[in-house]
Chains A and B, each alone.
Chain A
Amino acid sequence: MFKVKGVKLSAITGSAPAYTEDNLTNPIFNDADDAARYVNTVGVRYRRLTDDATTTADLFVPAFDKALELLNWEKSDIGILIVITQTPEYISPLQSIILQSRLGLEKSCLCIDVPLGCSGYIYGSFLIASMMQLHGIKKGILLAGDTLSKQASKKDRSTQPLFSDAATASAFELDENAADMLFDLGSDGSGYENIMLKDGGYRNRFSEESLVYVDKGEGICLRGIDTIMIGTEVFSFAISTAPRTIKNLLAQYELNSDDIDYFVFHQANMFLNETIRKRLKLPAEKVPYSLHDYGNSASSTIPVTILDKIQNEISEKPLKMVLCGFGVGLSWGAMYIETQKVLTAPMIHV
């Protein structure tokens, strides 16, 4: 359990590819009924896809530019940049450092990458707010995004129809009147093989074999450079862990779920998220989804959902929110935040 004082969430912006593909006509499904059943249960109709030449970094730039425009900040004001992504341009050097120059930030700006996935937005918010509070850094930018579609095998029906691309920018600033941000965070490395990209690191170096498709059965055929997801294990983990971390957070800080305006979850899939929602006995209107139009884009799904579904509310009035991310690691986190008229813009389609 962690508490961060005196840091305010000032702006959220996001960008995603304008190009979409429709799951109802996705050839990975057996037929139209199969496709319709998938869209109904998993919740993803459209996936937003970058082309080969476009990286997560290219999606971050318009989101960052829009945030700065809304905030009227000088680039030289930004003291810390944290980038949450599992799809950087290069293995080395860090994405945040490359972006420091590309975005025109000062050389004194702290640049940190955190290669987390679905829990990344919670950790990113925790890290940036903590660093700002501890070291008196007045303004900071958290970039969270992924071009997750590039990690899905075209022959894997557990990931190909689900994974989508998006990137977001969140601006934080010191404000002594800001309500405390509260966090519950956890990890379980024993489940590291349940969502994994096996090749390209230093345990399994990238090789010719990394490009060979292997049939795993049940509609899953993938290469070493594709994400493998053990659906049943991930599901089992998420439906127990996400409710627990949220209950921990609420109990520790004596928060009543009736007083929370919105619970924004990582957009894993509709069936899984609805199981979590029912388990927490939350009314449907407090739990927004962006899966239909934006799919699952790992670290960016929480801010994308805010922009897609509650942009007006968060811009116009104070909100009490619980945000929760869970996934690859295995890693999870929940945070409580009280926002005050956050500056936002509709999702930018590039």
Chain B
Amino acid sequence: MTTESFIQELQDEVFMDTDIAQITLDATFKDLDEWSSLTALSLIAYFDMNLEKKISGEQIKNAATIQDLYNIAVA
């Protein structure tokens, strides 16, 4: 998966109300307006359903940027 397609999918599935221009690899995703405990659940659901991967609450807590999420996605 390319970083571009990952960002597009994040926008489609998780950050639906966020402008895609704001979802950059170095963006601190917890600073996005849309971030909340429910977005965290959307992120878990996206990993589980689209990527068939588990992402734990702890991994989300430790991740800072979209790049960190991508690294978990392709690990």
Contacts of A230 in B (CB 8 A): 57
Query: How many Å lie between the Cα of A231 and that of B38 in the bound state?
Result: 10
Interface string of B32-72 (1 = CB under 8 A from A): 00000110110011001100001111001000000000000
Does A205 interact with chain B (Cβ within 8 Å)?
no
- Inter-chain contact A236/B38, CB cutoff 8 Å: no
A-B pair number, CB within 8 angstroms: 36
> Chain B residue with minimal CB distance to A236?
B44
Contacts of B41 in A (CB 8 A): 231-232, 235, 271-272
Does A107 interact with chain B (Cβ within 8 Å)?
no
> Chain B residue with minimal CB distance to A158?
B37
- Shortest C-beta distance, A84 to chain B (Å), equals 27
Do A236 and B60 form a contact, CB below 8 Å, given A271-B41, A275-B45?
no
> Chain B residue with minimal CB distance to A220?
B37
- Inter-chain contact B45/A232, CB cutoff 8 Å: no
- Inter-chain contact A240/B38, CB cutoff 8 Å: no
Query: How many Å lie between the Cα of A218 and that of B49 in the bound state?
Result: 26
- Inter-chain contact A236/B48, CB cutoff 8 Å: yes
Contacts of B44 in A (CB 8 A): 232, 235-236, 239
Number of interface residues, chain B, beta carbon within 8 A: 13
Do A279 and B54 form a contact, CB below 8 Å, given A231-B41, A235-B41, A271-B41?
no
Q: Identify whether the interface residues of A are mostly helix, strand, loop, or mixed.
A: helix
> Chain A residue with minimal CB distance to B49?
A279
> Chain B residue with minimal CB distance to A275?
B45
- Inter-chain contact B48/A232, CB cutoff 8 Å: no
Query: How many Å lie between the Cα of A233 and that of B59 in the bound state?
Result: 11
- Inter-chain contact A239/B48, CB cutoff 8 Å: yes
- Shortest C-beta distance, B15 to chain A (Å), equals 15
Query: How many Å lie between the Cα of A279 and that of B52 in the bound state?
Result: 12
Does A41 interact with chain B (Cβ within 8 Å)?
yes
- Inter-chain contact A236/B37, CB cutoff 8 Å: no
Do A271 and B38 form a contact, CB below 8 Å, given A235-B44, A239-B48, A279-B49?
yes
- Shortest C-beta distance, A299 to chain B (Å), equals 23
Contacts of B40 in A (CB 8 A): 232
Q: Which residue, of A158, A232, A275, has the highest number of chain B Cβ atoms within 10 A?
A: A232
Q: Which residue, of A41, A218, A235, has the highest number of chain B Cβ atoms within 10 A?
A: A235
Contacts of B55 in A (CB 8 A): 236
- Inter-chain contact A41/B38, CB cutoff 8 Å: yes
Seen from chain B, the residues whose Cβ lies within 8 Å of a Cβ on chain A are 37-38, 40-41, 44-45, 48-49, 54-57, 60
Which 3 pairs between the two chains have the least Cβ-Cβ distance? Answer: A232-B57, A235-B41, A275-B45
20 new A-B contacts, CB < 8 A, other than A275-B45, A279-B49, are A41-B38, A158-B37, A219-B37, A231-B41, A231-B57, A232-B41, A232-B56, A232-B57, A233-B56, A235-B41, A235-B44, A236-B54, A236-B55, A236-B56, A236-B57, A239-B44, A239-B49, A240-B48, A271-B41, A272-B41
26 interchain pairs (CB within 8 A)? A41-B38, A158-B37, A219-B37, A230-B57, A231-B37, A231-B41, A232-B40, A232-B41, A232-B57, A232-B60, A233-B56, A233-B57, A235-B41, A235-B45, A236-B44, A236-B54, A236-B55, A236-B56, A239-B44, A239-B48, A239-B49, A240-B48, A271-B38, A271-B41, A275-B45, A275-B49
